[in-house]
Amino acid sequence: MKADIKTRFEKIGKWIACLVFVCVFANLAYDLVINEPKAKATLAQLETEFQAIEPGAGATGWPSYTTSHKPSQGLVSGRFVRHMPAAEGQAYYDKILVKNGWKFHKTKIIKDYGRDLGEKVAYYCKGEYQAALHYVKSAESNDMMYSLNLSWGLGGSDSCQ
């Protein structure tokens, strides 16, 4: 009797393992066949959005940027340095982003164990896309260092959705 029950549980276990394998494989196949082409098209749109943002006169390190994506999320990111105060820089980029259809979402002060290190992030939204403009004073000079990240699907507490 005990052997019969043990055999049944082994068979059920094998079926469950096979079912889990099939589900995982189907999910991966769906991501590659359905989501991956959408992700590549969305990444191309984000790159176009990124290239439409003028860094302004005197910016160094532009227009180089990096891209990365998965079937359900993506990121376009670039860094540059500008010779202008933080308030003037944020006003400039706010104007450029709003002109390109982005809506201001919020500003967040980045702290390290409660200490304000002078870094801020301004978040903007455009449909399902999010822009994060990081700005911090350079340690070597009075220049402001900026990084601009355009993303979709990354979520988080600062997400547009």
CATH number at residue 128: 3.30.310
Residue 3 lies in a domain: no
Does some domain include residue 121?
yes
Domain of residue 142, residue span: 41-152
Domain count, the chain: 1
Collapsing DSSP to helix, strand or coil, 1 comes out as coil
What's the pLDDT at 158?
Answer: 66
Q: Return averaged pLDDT per consecutive 10 residues of the chain, 161 residues in all.
A: 70 76 70 76 90 78 79 87 76 90 90 82 91 80 80 76 63
Interior/surface letters 117-135, b for 16+ CB within 10 angstroms, e for the rest: eebbbbbbbbeebbbbbbb
pLDDT of residue 142: 66
pLDDT value for 69? 83
- Confidence at residue 130, expressed as pLDDT on a 0 to 100 scale: 92
**Inside any domain, residue 124:** yes
Confidence (pLDDT) at 82: 77
Question: Which pLDDT value is given to residue 124?
Answer: 93
Note the pTM of the prediction, 2 decimals: 0.75
Residue pair 133/80 in contact (Cβ under 8 Å)? The answer is no
Q: Which amino acid is at 23?
A: C
Check residue 21 and give its pLDDT: 74
Report how many helices (DSSP H) and strands (DSSP E) the chain contains, helices first: 3, 6
Instruction: Report yes or no on 55 lying in a domain.
Output: yes
CA dist list (Å): 16 to 2, 7, 9, 19, 39: 21, 14, 10, 5, 32
